[in-house]
Amino acid sequence: MQVTAPDGVVISVTVEGSGPPLLMVTGTGDDYTRYARVAPTLAQSYTLYQVDRRGRGDSTDAPTHSFLDEVHDLLAVIDTVHAVAGPVNLLAHSYGGLVALEAAWRSDKLKAVLLYEPPMPFYERIEGVDPRKPLVIAMAEILAKGDIDGVITYYLRDFMGSSPDAVERQRSNPKAWERWRSMARTVPRELMIVRDYEFAAFKFVGVKYPFGVLVGGKSRGGMRNSAERIKGGIPQTEIIELPGEGHSAMTSSPEMFASAVLAFFNGANR
């Protein structure tokens, strides 16, 4: 499926499975294959609409970028899926979770929303200053010099904290590294949006459908703080812990992740 956004960007959506619609959105540095290990299980109960956000996969991009562009992209996809399949279940990870969060209060076509660790770095600020924002600015400067490999290496090593060996394993896998290269220009711009994001609870007073936030049991405390902040603005929010997991349970523990996703959406779709 291809959906044209308001600014003309074409968003690619991979469709598989059968049942009620489940729209799936990924985070920074990921395309729709991020859900590859859980999609076969979820597709037994839901029709999966797996989105490649702008700038990755078969989706196109624009010369300029804004967070609101991505929100409008997702709203266009929601409208399209709703037209063919009815009220939409929405699952979104990390930065994609912030896009989904801002789409949630703007749409009346959603059945239920489940976010997996949408990042809100307000909790990392020291006297109002974000200590990790300079890392994102440094990445943007590397990208401006045209050093694509340097952006990826800096992101994995300095921002994500991956070991040199882990970075080298990625680099030595041609398919994985080319995938990173294809999305490298989207990484700094998305991370900058994350660093500046503020959750405004008053926008969500009209959200009455089931809402959930997945949090890894091993994730840093700020992820749970973000979930609690969302619950404060959307009181019906269910916070669901994934024991022993971090920010990538769909890869590291696909059975646990799929089970939690199905339990939430099955309850919402009764």
Range of the domain at 177: 133-191
Residue range 71-116, pLDDT digits in tens: 999 999 999 999 999 999 999 999 999 999 999 999 999 999 999 9
Domain limit, last residue, from 167, 191, 215? 191
Residues 232 and 99 in one domain: yes
In-domain check, residue 128: no
Of 213, 205, 216, 223, nearest in space to 243 by CA: 216
User: What was the pLDDT predicted at 220?
Assistant: 79
Quote the pLDDT of residue 33.
95
Q: Verify that 218 and 184 share a domain, yes or no.
A: no
Q: Is the pLDDT assigned to residue 123 strictly greater than 70?
A: no
Distance CA 255, CA 50 (A): 19
Q: Is residue 137 part of a domain?
A: yes
pLDDT at 164: 93
Query: What's the pLDDT tens digit per position in 28-40?
Result: 999 999 999 999 9
Number of domains in the chain: 2
Its sign, for the CA torsion 74, 200, 227, 66, is: positive
The CATH number for 67's domain is 3.40.50.1820
Nearest to 29 by CA among 234, 253, 180: 180
pLDDT in tens, 151-183: 999 999 999 889 999 999 999 999 999 999 999
Q: Are residues 141 and 103 in the same domain?
A: no
The number of helices, as runs of H, and strands, as runs of E, in the chain is 11, 8
pLDDT of residue 270: 87
pLDDT value of position 143: 96
Position of tokens 């969500």?
Answer: 204
DSSP state of 48: E
Is the model's pLDDT at 124 over the cut of 80? no
